[in-house]
Structure 1
Amino acid sequence: MELSCKSQYAILALLEMATHYESGEPMQIRQIAAQQDIPDRYLEQLLATLRRGGIVKSQRGSKGGYLLAREPWKISVFEILECLEGLDIKPGEDDTNSKSVDSSIVDEIWQEARQAANAVLQKHSLQALCQERDSRRQLNIMYYI
């Protein structure tokens, strides 16, 4: 499994918005795009999808832009990916009568893998990603003599 470009760009944009969350000021698309090196037009589409999913909200006007709809610690990576990619945490239909034993075994393993991946994604919030980023930046700033 791989993270799509769409999801990666969305998470980067949301990290930028989470960094500025405390100010309460909306961020404009071109500002986010420049900071995270995301094409403006593509980011516009992503933010529209995230707005429909209730992850961000938009504010109109000359000082308008986009803001997180909730606190960064209340938005999980899973929720972001679910909004963009349509992840499904529910188990599939249990139709064991029409499936072969081999097929059922493969389906069960895949379901277990999906549940484990979903649990990891639900555990990490935007706030946790921001904190991890900040601690790694601190390590990069340190130098030794």
Structure 2
Amino acid sequence: MELSCKSEYALLALSELAARYQSGEPLQIRQIAAQQNIPDRYLEQLLATLRRGGIVKSQRGAKGGYILAREPWKITLLEVLVCLEGIEARATEEESKPRTLETAVVHEIWHEARQAANMVLQQHTLQNLCEQIAARRQLDIMYYI
């Protein structure tokens, strides 16, 4: 399993929304794009997908933009990746009957690895992501002093 550019950009955008969740104010696409260096049009498509998946909500109007649909500690990274990439759907397609003993063993190991990755992603939320980013920023600041 690899982290696609689409998923990386989405997680960066969601980290912005999660960091500002407590204020209750929506963020506009251009604000998120500028902060995370994501192309506006691409971000617009990602946020539309996340909106359809129930992860973000959009608000219209002059002070409109995007906000998280739920608290950041209730949205797991696995949920985000499944919404964007359809990981679980792809997993069932791959689990067709293997032709040989060797491919059966390879499929079993790959399935085990995918389950382990999913377990880690299920344990981490957008809140955890924000906390780890903030902690890393603190370390970088301390390093430069």
Q: TM-score, normalised by structure 2?
A: 0.91
The aligned counterpart of 1:123 is 123
Q: Distance in 1 between matches of 2:107 and 2:126?
A: 31
The aligned counterpart of 2:75 is 75
CA contact (8 A) 1:89 1:114 kept: no
Where has structure 1 moved over 4 Å in runs of 4 or more? 89-96
* 1:88 alignment partner, SS class: helix
The aligned counterpart of 2:40 is 40
Q: Distance in 2 between matches of 1:3 and 1:91?
A: 15
Give the drift of 1:101: 1.7
Code of the residue aligned with 1:23 in structure 2: it is S
The aligned counterpart of 1:140 is 140
Structure 1 or 2, whichever has the larger Rg, is 1
| Counterpart mapping for 1:1-145 below 5 A | 1-88=1-88, 92=92, 99-143=99-143
Code of the residue aligned with 2:127 in structure 1: it is Q
* Structure 2: gaps spanning 5 or more residues: none
Of residues 84-93 and 9-18 in structure 1, the stretch that sits farther from structure 2 once superposed is: 84-93
Task: Specify which structure has the higher proportion of helix.
Answer: 2
* Structure 1: gaps spanning 5 or more residues: none
Percentage of identical aligned residues: 69
Change (3 A) 1:144 1:110: closer
Code of the residue aligned with 2:75 in structure 1: it is I
* Count of aligned residue pairs for this structure pair: 144
Change (3 A) 1:13 1:95: closer
Change (3 A) 1:95 1:130: closer
Change (3 A) 1:91 1:65: closer
Give the drift of 1:140: 1.4
Q: Distance in 1 between matches of 2:144 and 2:29?
A: 39
Task: Compute the RMSD of aligned alpha carbons.
Answer: 2.1
Change (3 A) 1:114 1:143: closer
